[in-house]
Homo-oligomer: A and B are copies of this chain.
Amino acid sequence: MVQDSIRVLQAQGYKVTKPRRQVLEILEEAEESLSPYDIQRLLRQQGKHLNHVTIYRILDLFCSLNLVHRILLSGGFVKCTLSNKEGCHRFMVCYHCGATQEFVDQQLCLQESKSTQNLGFHTQYHFSESSGLCSACYKKQLQKQEEAQPQSNR
């Protein structure tokens, strides 16, 4: 919820400005990650106009507060859907439709830390994204394959 993020801003002493609200709302609606310029375009389509510098600064702030994450595979940003949930926040990114879903897996986190520790590395955080097909796109692809190669038994 946008409202939750606004409370975090207030709690930390940051102003709740119109540009910040607008960026939050755009990210809230999006299924896929959005680049700063994507955000600018989408807002412009709604008659709202933000300077790209402003968008960069807002995204920096939101990231530092963990209200937003940057997806490295796509270079875009998403609104965090897990609030402050314990453990590192991971992402699945559909390479077909771009849909991005966030999740936490405590066990995975632990095992990952152990692995790197065994190699003499002192991990501060990990950073994990999976690329593949979301269930919707997977089904679509199956259908296509059936059409292309119809009924082997006729």
Contacts and interface: CB of A to CB of B under 8 A. Distances in A.
This chain's copy number in the assembly: 2
Interface string A109-144: 001100110011111111111111111001000000
A101 B120 CA distance: 11
Given A120-B135, A122-B133, A129-B126, A105 B115 contact: yes
Interface of A: 72-73, 92, 94-95, 101, 103, 105, 107-108, 111-112, 115-116, 119-135, 138
A112 B123 contact: no
Nearest to A117: B132
A130 B111 contact: no
Given A126-B128, A127-B73, A121 B133 contact: yes
